[in-house]
């Protein structure tokens, strides 16, 4: 089991390197091997998730505790004075939350590869190499339990995304690629500064040999928190990079352009998984390591920005005439529920937030998928030029309507579970945010139904196309979309396996924010030693 | 004087690799004129084309000989009085200079005219020997000689590899400023000698440590200021950077590759040797480190800002890399600033680690530039009879490289990502180490200035990457593949990735150099 973790990270990377060495003409080999690699990664990740759900729960009370872990020294960084050296580690681990996100990444990567099967015309080997490299970076960041390793993977994803958008994107691809990389790079440099300062503070204060190990620092924080002012500074610095990535509202300006210009498969990956790195970073780093700042400063800031994002994104989505842009704003709006739920800081809300990360990945990814299929058939995304497509493309219409319902939060589908949990969790913390946020559900239903109504119903209007009339859903397209839709339904009907999986991890984190905090029985010195020994 | 000569002779065995390199280089100068066959092709000074393969292979062999001598020498911890010392620092710099000379040979292989190959490679060997001697020197006089052993052949090397009008101008500019800076540095060294009464570095530092009673004499500060100014020229640190863009643009690509790395290495190592205070002497006394730190900090922040901001507006690749080199020199100075008296190895180690990472990325980038040819001149202002300049000059010339030469483009991309400081490259770890050293050494504003600069710098490297991959038109000739330069670039890229994946062995060795200052 433990041996599978590095395989999960390195298999796509090795395959990407191998693909990059192929001749550009070997397109057939490239896409088949990419598919095989992504399917094997998917199989491994599902197996790992299954194993995890069967494993005995850990009995530790540490706020962050991976249930499987693999630690390897990467380099030792000196500390001034007589104190021992600081170890940076390749520290891979797996807990419920990361296992789910890894599985989501593997599913969406397979989807993206199937979706780009025929659509990418030139440089296919390089394209599939980039997709696999991106998968590797994403999985790496989701199973990194070392702050720096997380940052390394977080940053590494920029490289394949830059090429994916810049080479295979739409008209404005160069501007979109440059803007995306510069925005997120500037944000994440602040994160890097914050992470390093946090590591320095951890080394100084608790004398940790591994001050970048998230579980070790979290255990120390639970007993002896950092000074409040330092926590606030660190949270603002670290949070900035995540806020740009998620994106929270004032930092979202890169998003519409990027989503619209990126090839559809990449948009699916961006909205489904890449942005989750930001939310995951908030959950994995800010919440357990900086509890006081998160509770007093983080909640008002993040919750306010989230509800602004929910409403603003929904209003923008309402006024779009470009389908892809509409879904981009809808993604912005729905991500608000993720951060709103996470920062409710209670079991209900945070579970909902994590669940909503998965749901958002599935349903928004699926909507982008179908929008991409329509665009491929007609060569346009202009809403005004469509109408009554349900009679022309019945199967596609049914699927699209289904995923729009899932995204809009219809009961019995996955969006409902996540949004309900998020909002009710937030209601317990601060009803005002929850009430404003709930308006987003209504607005969401409004614009998604408008999208469906204008595209699929009414008199038939379709843009002129050359050649035979566009075919209905193809088998390959259905194969790409079916797992997402099946999961939407399954999670909506019976979310318990998923909540069971993430509950223990969420429990341990939100215990920090409990109204009756568990007072640690052991003296701080002993625990510091313990965490050194681990 | 006689005693000095005796000691010099007695300790030659400590400098065996350098001696070997210098002897071989002298043999080159002796043999080369006889191999030129002036009668066959009619033009004097041109030789048969096999000569360039011969000399390049011989140079690699010479470097291999020196390398085997290097590997057989164990660094010894204690510093004996004498002109040379073999410690961790000199062991590392020796390895670095040999490796860089080997890669520069590969880069130059196809580009150097056959008739001038022998002299060119002889100069390269001198430079290599001089670079190691800077680290091996344990004496101010020896140090100055070593610095000049790098400078003098550099002028010749710049001229030999390109001697049209632009090349001459570049060479002359470098020569004049370099001579001036050498004068300033030697002025500073004389003050150091005047104040402490010894040229031996170990004895000098012991004398300084004993001088605790009484205020530090102003002559020492003046001396240090002059030395820092003189050596900052080598580092191309702002405000001593003005020559760099012009020279990089004017000289040959291999000349620019040499200039981008060797003088920086020399400057960093010489500065560390002179101003570094060994751990054992850290308590009390007059500390040159403390005097130099504010000056170096100012130079560092100025270089980073000037380099990065001016690089933003460049369109010529060599000027861009020159400005980027200025900024990277600033990053390395941050490491020297952070040489904390209690544990100088942290700051020094991070600067030296960055030096290796920087060497791999910049020489790698120049190696790729050296092997690319554009399809015909784009310079409309050139006079009609001017030789067609088929080098890749501007960022636009690289357009479509990702398609026309994917492998070369990938090598250049790795170098550029390392310059940005993105993982998984050595540039990321190098900057990380510098940041940690500065932060924990109490220079937090400097550490933050570094991060801000890393953000600014990303923009212009992305422009180059964007041109290579995101633009359709292909200007670069597909057929221009030069295997040696490609091999050199591949080695640099492998080092860039390798130093990221397994940095610990080097890092541990470098940290220990704090004891060697």
Listed residue (B355, B343, B178, B393) closest to B262, CA to CA: B355
The two tokens of residue B299 are 């130079």
For chains A and B, CB pairs below 8 A equal 89
Residues of chain B with pLDDT under 70: 1, 4, 7-8, 10, 37-47, 75-81, 212-214, 279-285, 376-389, 474-475, 477-480
**Backbone phi, psi, residue B473, to 5°:** -65, 135
Confidence (pLDDT) at B404: 82
DSSP, residue by residue, B429-460:
HHHHHHHHHHHHTT-HHHHHHHHHHHHHHHHH
**Backbone phi, psi, residue A211, to 5°:** -75, 0
- Say yes or no: A167 contacts chain B, CB-CB below 8 A: yes
Going from the C-alpha of B24 to that of each of A360, B21, B61, the distances in angstroms are 68, 5, 10
Q: Which residues of B touch A178 (CB under 8 A)?
A: 462, 466
Average pLDDT, chain A: 86
Select the residue from B421, B465, B470, B490 to test the A interface by mutation, using most A Cβ atoms within 10 A: B470
User: Half-sphere exposure of residue B382, counting CA atoms within 13 Å on the CB side?
Assistant: 14
Listed residue (A317, A310, A309) closest to A449, CA to CA: A317
Listed residue (B95, B93, B89) closest to B71, CA to CA: B95
Cα–Cα distance, B426 to B409 (Å, whole number): 18
Q: Report CA B362 to chain centroid distance, whole Å.
A: 10
- Say yes or no: B476 contacts chain A, CB-CB below 8 A: no
Residues with Cβ within 8 Å of A21's Cβ and at least 6 positions away in sequence, in order, are none
Interface contact B466-A173, CB threshold 8 A: no
From A126, A167, A182, residue closest to B458, measured CB to CB: A182
Instruction: Say if residues A356 and A337 touch (Cβ distance below 8 Å).
Output: yes
Interface contact A75-B503, CB threshold 8 A: yes
- Say yes or no: B342 contacts chain A, CB-CB below 8 A: yes
**Nearest-Cα residue of chain B relative to residue A171:** B470
Cα–Cα distance, B338 to B79 (Å, whole number): 24
Residues of chain A with pLDDT under 70: 24, 78-84, 515-534
Listed residue (A22, A263, A328, A15) closest to A119, CA to CA: A263
Listed residue (A515, A34, A531, A512) closest to A231, CA to CA: A512
- Say yes or no: A483 contacts chain B, CB-CB below 8 A: no
Confidence (pLDDT) at B383: 45
Element at B331 (helix H, strand E): helix B317-337
From A156, A166, A182, residue closest to B469, measured CB to CB: A166
Interface contact A78-B343, CB threshold 8 A: yes
From B349, B440, B470, residue closest to A167, measured CB to CB: B470
Q: Is B377 exposed, middle or buried (0-12, 13-18, 19+ CB in 10 A)?
A: middle
Confidence (pLDDT) at A269: 92
* Residue A346 per-residue DSSP state: S
* Coil vs helix vs strand at A27: helix
* Residue A473 per-residue DSSP state: -
Interface contact A155-B423, CB threshold 8 A: yes
From B429, B432, B470, residue closest to A166, measured CB to CB: B470
* Residue A290 per-residue DSSP state: -
* Residue B281 per-residue DSSP state: G
Cα–Cα distance, A62 to A90 (Å, whole number): 20
Give tens-digit pLDDT for A459-516. 888 787 777 778 888 888 888 889 999 999 999 898 888 888 888 888 888 888 875 4
- Say yes or no: A241 contacts chain B, CB-CB below 8 A: no
The answer to whether ipTM exceeds 0.90 is no
Interface contact B507-A156, CB threshold 8 A: no
B221 CB neighbour count, 10 Å cutoff: 17
Confidence (pLDDT) at B269: 93
Percent of chain A residues past pLDDT 90, beyond the cut: 36
**To 10 degrees, the CA torsion angle through B427, B428, B433, B438?**
90
Residues with Cβ within 8 Å of A65's Cβ and at least 6 positions away in sequence, in order, are A58, A95, A215, A505, A508
Confidence (pLDDT) at A15: 92
Listed residue (B405, B316, B364, B321) closest to B107, CA to CA: B364
């Amino acid at each position: 089991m433990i041996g599978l973790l590095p395989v999960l990270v390195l298999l796509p990377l090795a395959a990407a390197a191998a693909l990059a060495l192929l001749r550009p003409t070997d397109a057939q080999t490239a896409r088949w091997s990419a598919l095989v690699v992504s399917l094997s990664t998917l199989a491994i990740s599902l197996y790992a998730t299954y194993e995890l759900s069967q494993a005995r729960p850990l009995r530790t009370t540490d706020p962050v505790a991976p249930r499987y872990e693999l630690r390897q020294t990467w380099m030792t960084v000196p500390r001034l004075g007589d104190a021992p050296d600081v170890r940076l580690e390749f520290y891979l681990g797996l807990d419920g939350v990361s296992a789910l996100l890894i599985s989501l990444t593997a599913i969406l990567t397979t989807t993206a590869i199937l979706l780009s099967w025929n659509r990418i015309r030139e440089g296919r080997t390089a394209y599939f190499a980039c997709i696999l490299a991106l998968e590797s970076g994403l999985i790496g960041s989701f199973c990194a339990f070392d702050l720096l390793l997380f940052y390394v993977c977080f940053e590494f994803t920029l490289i394949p995304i830059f090429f994916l958008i810049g080479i295979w994107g739409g008209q404005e691809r160069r501007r979109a690629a440059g803007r995306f990389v510069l925005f997120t790079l500037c944000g994440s440099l602040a994160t890097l500064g914050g992470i390093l300062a946090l590591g320095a503070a951890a080394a100084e204060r608790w004398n940790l040999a591994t001050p970048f190990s998230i579980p070790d620092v979290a255990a120390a924080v639970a007993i002896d928190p950092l000074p409040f002012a330092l926590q606030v500074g660190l949270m603002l610095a670290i949070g900035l990079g995540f806020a740009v990535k998620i994106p929270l509202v004032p930092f979202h300006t890169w998003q519409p352009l990027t989503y619209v210009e990126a090839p559809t498969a990449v948009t699916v990956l961006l909205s489904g998984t890449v942005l989750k790195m930001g939310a995951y970073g908030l959950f994995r780093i800010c919440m357990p390591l900086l509890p006081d700042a998160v509770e007093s400063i983080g909640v008002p800031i993040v919750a306010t920005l989230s509800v602004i994002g929910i409403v603003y994104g929904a209003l923008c989505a309402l006024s779009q005439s470009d389908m892809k842009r509409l879904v981009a704003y809808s993604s912005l709006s729905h991500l608000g529920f993720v951060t709103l739920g996470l920062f409710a800081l209670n079991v209900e809300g945070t579970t909902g937030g994590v669940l909503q990360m998965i749901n958002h990945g599935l349903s928004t990814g699926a909507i982008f998928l179908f929008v991409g299929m329509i665009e491929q058939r007609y060569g346009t995304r202009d809403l005004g030029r469509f109408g009554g497509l349900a009679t022309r493309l019945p199967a596609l219409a049914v699927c699209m309507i289904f995923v729009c319902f899932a995204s809009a939060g219809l009961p019995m589908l996955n969006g409902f579970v996540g949004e309900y949990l998020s909002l009710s969790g937030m209601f317990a913390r601060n009803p005002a945010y929850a009430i404003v946020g709930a308006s987003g559900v209504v607005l969401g239903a409004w614009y998604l139904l408008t999208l469906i109504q204008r595209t699929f119903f009414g008199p038939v209007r379709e843009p002129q196309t050359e050649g035979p009339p566009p075919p209905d859903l193809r088998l390959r397209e259905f194969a790409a979309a079916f797992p997402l839709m099946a999961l939407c339904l399954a999670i909506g009907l019976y979310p318990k396996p998923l909540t069971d999986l993430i509950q223990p991890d969420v429990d341990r984190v939100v215990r920090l924010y409990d109204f009756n905090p568990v007072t640690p029985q052991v003296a701080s010195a002993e625990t510091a030693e313990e965490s050194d020994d681990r | 004087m006689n005693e000095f000569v005796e000691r010099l002779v007695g300790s030659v065995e400590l400098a065996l690799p350098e001696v070997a390199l210098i002897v071989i280089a002298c043999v080159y100068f002796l043999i080369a004129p006889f191999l030129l066959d002036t009668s066959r092709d009619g033009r004097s000074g041109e030789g048969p084309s096999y000569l360039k393969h011969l000399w390049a292979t011989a140079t690699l062999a010479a470097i291999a000989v020196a390398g085997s001598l290097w590997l057989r020498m164990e660094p010894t911890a204690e510093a004996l009085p004498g002109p040379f010392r073999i410690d961790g620092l000199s062991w590392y710099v020796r390895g670095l200079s040999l490796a860089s000379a080997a890669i520069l040979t590969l880069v130059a292989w196809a580009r150097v005219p056959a008739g001038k190959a022998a002299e060119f490679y002889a100069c390269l060997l001198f430079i290599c020997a001089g670079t190691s001697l800077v680290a091996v020197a344990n004496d101010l006089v020896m140090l100055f000689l070593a610095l000049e052993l790098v400078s003098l052949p550099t002028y010749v090397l710049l001229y030999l590899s390109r001697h049209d009008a632009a090349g001459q101008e570049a060479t002359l500019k470098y020569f004049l400023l370099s001579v001036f800076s050498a004068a300033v540095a030697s002025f500073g060294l004389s003050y150091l000698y005047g104040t402490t009464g010894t040229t031996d570095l170990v004895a000098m530092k012991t004398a300084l440590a004993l001088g605790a009673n009484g205020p530090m004499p102003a002559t020492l500060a003046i001396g240090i200021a002059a030395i820092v100014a003189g050596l900052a020229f080598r580092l191309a640190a702002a405000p001593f950077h003005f020559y760099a863009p012009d020279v990089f643009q004017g000289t040959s690509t291999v000349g620019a590759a040499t200039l981008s790395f060797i003088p920086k290495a020399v400057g960093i190592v010489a500065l560390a040797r002179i101003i570094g205070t060994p751990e054992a002497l850290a308590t009390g006394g007059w500390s040159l480190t403390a005097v130099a730190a504010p000056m170096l900090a100012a130079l560092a922040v100025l270089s980073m800002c000037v380099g990065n901001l001016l690089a933003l507006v460049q369109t010529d690749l060599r000027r861009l890399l020159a400005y980027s080199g200025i900024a990277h020199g600033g990053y390395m100075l941050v490491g020297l600033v952070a040489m904390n008296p209690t544990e100088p190895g942290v700051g020094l180690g991070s600067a030296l680690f960055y030096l290796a990472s920087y060497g791999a990325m910049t020489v790698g980038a120049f190696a790729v530039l050296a092997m690319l040819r554009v399809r015909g001149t784009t310079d409309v202002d050139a006079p009609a009879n001017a030789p067609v300049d088929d080098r890749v000059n501007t960022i636009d010339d690289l357009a479509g490289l990702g398609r026309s030469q994917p492998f070369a483009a990938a090598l250049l991309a790795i170098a550029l990502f390392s310059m940005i400081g993105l993982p998984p490259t050595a540039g990321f770890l190098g900057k990380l180490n510098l940041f940690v050293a500065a932060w924990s050494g109490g220079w937090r504003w400097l550490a933050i200035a570094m991060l801000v600069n890393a953000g600014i710098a990303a923009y212009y490297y992305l422009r180059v990457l964007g041109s290579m991959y995101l633009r359709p038109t292909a200007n670069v000739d597909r057929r221009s593949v030069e295997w040696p330069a490609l091999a050199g670039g591949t080695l640099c890229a492998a080092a860039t990735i390798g130093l990221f994946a397994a940095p610990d062995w080097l890092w541990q060795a470098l940290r220990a150099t704090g004891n060697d200052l």
